[in-house]
Amino acid sequence: MSDALVELRGIAKGFGEGEARVQALSDITLSVAAGEVVGLRGPSGSGKSTLLNLVACILEPDAGLLRLAGETVWEGRWRRTDLRAFRRERIGFIFQFHNLLPFLDATDNVALAQTLNGVPLKAARQRARALLDYLQVGKRAAAMPAKLSGGEAQRVAIARALANHPRIILADEPTAALDSERAGVVMDLLRQVAREQAAAVLVVTHDEKIFSRFDRLVSLRDGRIEAESRPEKHELDVI
């Protein structure tokens, strides 16, 4: 696929040494095209988060090839050295455990991601508030992360991931703490971003209620891709 924004070929990743060695991923070949929303499912420990972290250049693969936004990022070694700038500019990551900065309020958590990219603080805060409003946490814009509920924190984290208009969006169970209505809002937003920004979206999820909203569903088991399917009726979904 030539227009793939995310492209993995024969990616493998293990943790630990000797007897404690865990082969988290083996021979993963997967690509996500611009505008595509791909779901990643599988039992706990099957390697979903590990796969996402590899794509986000947070973990280094052991073998294979990783191409992102048309650039070979890893092949035998890091081909791109400034991973943090790459992540800042190209990738929006919604972590499994939100990872909000505890000393910034919701607005500034979202604004910081933008100011790191050179956006003036005022404009960054404006966009942050708009995103929070859209995600229905506008009322909590001034709250510190410790005062947010799990679902609120997750939506703030989503706003942060989207703030910089990334081409690649990675989300680790973004709807786990949300009720089905809000989960629907989040999925709609991700789909909209994929369409409007021609972004590739890769979402880890356990949530069967939203399976139908993916263009493709990839199932992982024991670190290998077990199956790929295309949900039928996603255009008609109203939750």
Partner 1 sequence: MNLALRDIRHNLGRFLLTCLGLGLLLGVALAMVGIYRGVVEEALSLARALRADLWVVEAGTRGPFAEASRIPGDVREAVARLPGVLAAGAVTFQTVEARHAGGPGEAEPWTEEALRERAGEAGRQRIGAVLRLQVVGHEPDRPGGPPEILEGRGIGRGRLEMVVDRGAGLRPGAIVEMANIRYRVVGLTHRTVSTGGDPLAWITLRDAQELQFRLAPPAARRAQQGGGGALPQDTVNAVIARVSPHARAEDIAAGIRRWKHFAALTAAEQETVLTRSVVERARRQLGMFTGVLLLVSAVIVALIVYTMTMDKLREIATLKLIGAPDRSIVALIMQQALLLGGTGFAGGTALLLSVKDAFPRRVLLGPEEILGFGLVVFVICLAASLLGVRYALRIEPAQALGG
Rule CB under 8 A: which residues touch partner 1? 49, 53, 58-59, 84-89, 93, 95-97, 99-104, 108, 111-113, 115-117, 121, 144, 160
Whichever of 124 and 201 has its CB closer to Mg ion, that residue is 201
Exactly one of 4, 38, 48, 111 binds ligand ATP (CB under 6 A); that residue is: 48
Query: Which lies closer to ligand ATP via its Cβ, residue 33 or residue 178?
Result: 178
Question: Which amino acid, residue 225?
Answer: I
Q: How far apart are CA 131 and CA 185, in angstroms?
A: 12
As a whole number of angstroms, the distance between CA 127 and CA 111 comes to 8
**Residue 45 binds: one of ligand ATP, Mg ion, partner 1, none (C-beta under 5 to 8 A by kind):** ligand ATP
Which of the residues 20 through 79 are near Mg ion (CB under 5 A)? 49
Q: Which does 115 bind (CB under 5 to 8 A by kind): ligand ATP, Mg ion, partner 1, none?
A: partner 1
Strands (E), 97-197: 168-172
Answer for the pair 140, 132: CB distance below 8 angstroms, yes or no.
Answer: yes
Strands (E), 44-152: 63-68, 71-75, 91-94
Tokens 């092949």, residue located: 75
Q: Cβ neighbours of residue 44 under 8 Å, at least 6 residues apart?
A: none
Residue closer to ligand ATP (CB basis): 16 or 120: 16
Among 7, 38, 50, 184, binds ligand ATP (CB under 6 A): 50
Size of the site for Mg ion (CB under 5 A): 1
